[in-house]
Amino acid sequence: MDEWGPEKVVCVSDSRTGMRGVLVLDNTARGMGKGGTRMSPTLDVPEIARLARTMTWKWAAVDLFQGGAKAGILGDPHAPGKEGVLRAFARALANEVPREYVLGLDMGLTERDAAILRDELGDRGAAVGLPAALGGVPYDELGVTGYGVAESAEAAGEAIGLPLRGARVALQGFGAVGAAAARRLAALGAVVVAVSTGEGAVHDPDGLDLAAMLRLRDEYGDACVLHGAGRRLPVGGELRVDADILVPAAREDAVDEEIARATRARLVVEGANSPTTPRAKAALAGRGIVTVPDFIANAGGVVAAAFAMDARYSPFRPEPAQIFTTVSAKLRANTAQVLEESRLRGSTPHEAATALAQERVRAAMELRGRLPRAS
């Protein structure tokens, strides 16, 4: 724990289903806790606490009034009995949801899972990310996070003199975020030269046939990289190809110091949460490679979640065009502001973005009497 939080850590379990889960409310000075809920067989409490802190900075950086929080369930999201585990998890957090935290989607959960969580708690406000048929804002289906990553990439490119049109992009991850980012990057004129999934990577220095890759993704899922035209690479190989822009959009700590020293990219845009290790960040900065922080570049999902939060008890659903317009405007402006602050402060973009977010959170804490007493 530090001056920012976490304010509350709730560990829950259920002997009948084997459910093991955790909720971390990091800092709610700017609003009630909001962050995704993930399911993973390797999940632990420090991971969720780290992600909850990222949400604190993400909400503040995008200047929307929610608090940082995250939840997680230990388990295989593809194993039988998932529904029972989800219902046990929801029941165990009935004291916190939706009064202190609203369930959302992250790795391992789908819109159908959000529907189950809402059904178990019997409250329209319990979860966001619901299917459209239940009045939700299906931001995974819309691809708003990946869309925002691409918008941030173009804004960053403009700031450093790297036009996105014609720029070669390597993407780690071709799931909901990576695929949507690839689609928008291509629409903005970039050339996607490599993509990867958990099954491996595929690379074409002249540019992949993205339309074909997206069709293969729909047909084969992660195995799409085994069927697409191009050179096969092992997992992680996509991070080492010759590209102007690198977009790690899969897992935490994917870009380590060795990759940071080897990459030929001029720009790294963090599509995943915490995909770059601290040593890698330092190595990239030392080489003059600009990195757009995760909580700036991938904040499109929280913008959409804010729309979803407002719509929870309303019979009206926001129009997708309104969401995309807001995502574009906020992420482009935030990216430009952070890179300019980085230049003026002589700091890394991560340091500049964190300072900006901390100033906003600290102001809210002071107004609510939450700052430590002076000794």
Question: Which residues, other chains included, contact 230 with Cβ-Cβ below 8 Å and sequence gap of 6+?
Answer: 194, 202, 203, 204, 208
Residue 359: inside a domain: no
Looking at the annotation, which residues are catalytic?
Answer: 70
Query: What confidence tier does 310 reach under pLDDT thresholds 50, 70, 90?
Result: confident
Question: Which residues, other chains included, contact 177 with Cβ-Cβ below 8 Å and sequence gap of 6+?
Answer: 143, 145, 146, 149, 249, 271, 272, 298
pLDDT of residue 142: 86
Query: What confidence tier does 206 reach under pLDDT thresholds 50, 70, 90?
Result: very high
Per-residue pLDDT of 127-186, as tens digits, reads 998 888 888 887 777 899 999 999 999 999 999 999 999 999 999 999 989 999 999 999
Q: What is d(CA 342, CA 334) in angstroms, rounded to the nearest whole number?
A: 12
Strand partners, 68: 27, 34
Considering the domain architecture, whether residues 123 and 154 belong to the same structural domain is answered as no
Range of the domain at 56: 8-136
pLDDT of residue 292: 97
**CATH no. for residue 119?**
3.40.50.10860
Report H helices in the chain: 45-61, 82-92, 111-121, 139-142, 144-160, 176-187, 210-220, 257-262, 278-286, 294-297, 300-311, 320-345, 349-367
pLDDT of residue 230: 95
Considering the domain architecture, whether residues 162 and 265 belong to the same structural domain is answered as yes
Considering the domain architecture, whether residues 172 and 56 belong to the same structural domain is answered as no
| Sign of the dihedral defined by the CA atoms of residues 185, 198, 274, 142, in that order | positive
Query: What confidence tier does 107 reach under pLDDT thresholds 50, 70, 90?
Result: confident
Q: What is d(CA 93, CA 21) in angstroms, rounded to the nearest whole number?
A: 10
Per-residue pLDDT of 82-102, as tens digits, reads 999 999 999 999 999 999 999
Location of structure tokens 């993973």: 40
pTM of the model: 0.88
pLDDT of residue 316: 81
pLDDT of residue 101: 97
Residue 156: inside a domain: yes
Half-sphere exposure at residue 18, Cβ-oriented, CA atoms within 13 angstroms:
9
Q: Quick one: tokens of 361?
A: 């959170």
Per-residue pLDDT of 209-268, as tens digits, reads 999 999 999 999 999 999 989 999 999 999 999 999 999 999 889 999 999 999 999 999
Q: Could you give the percent of the chain with pLDDT greater than 70?
A: 99
Number of structural domains, the chain? 2
Degrees (nearest 5) of the Cα angle 55, 275, 11? 45
Considering the domain architecture, whether residues 148 and 132 belong to the same structural domain is answered as no
Residue 303: inside a domain: no
Considering the domain architecture, whether residues 65 and 166 belong to the same structural domain is answered as no
pLDDT of residue 26: 98
pLDDT of residue 353: 95
Residue 314: inside a domain: no
Considering the domain architecture, whether residues 278 and 193 belong to the same structural domain is answered as yes
Burial of 108 by CB count in 10 Å (0-12 exposed, 13-18 middle, 19+ buried)? buried
pLDDT of residue 313: 79
Is residue 274 within 8 A of residue 280, CB to CB? The reply is no
Considering the domain architecture, whether residues 92 and 214 belong to the same structural domain is answered as no
Considering the domain architecture, whether residues 213 and 127 belong to the same structural domain is answered as no
Q: What is d(CA 86, CA 39) in angstroms, rounded to the nearest whole number?
A: 10
| pLDDT exceeds cutoff 80 at 340 | yes
pLDDT of residue 349: 95
Considering the domain architecture, whether residues 119 and 157 belong to the same structural domain is answered as no
Residue 164: inside a domain: yes
| pLDDT exceeds cutoff 70 at 270 | yes
Residue 326: inside a domain: no
Considering the domain architecture, whether residues 117 and 240 belong to the same structural domain is answered as no
Residue 361: inside a domain: no
Location of structure tokens 């995502």: 327
pLDDT of residue 375: 60
Residue 340: inside a domain: no
Q: At what angle do helices 300-311 and 144-160 cross, to 10 degrees?
A: 140
Q: Of 152-161, 181-190, 193-202, 308-317, which gets the smallest average pLDDT? A: 308-317
Whole-angstrom CA distances from 85 to 23, 40, 72, 241, 273 are: 15, 13, 12, 41, 25
- Rg (the chain; Cα; Å): 20
| pLDDT exceeds cutoff 90 at 187 | yes
Beta carbons within 10 angstroms of residue 297's beta carbon: 32
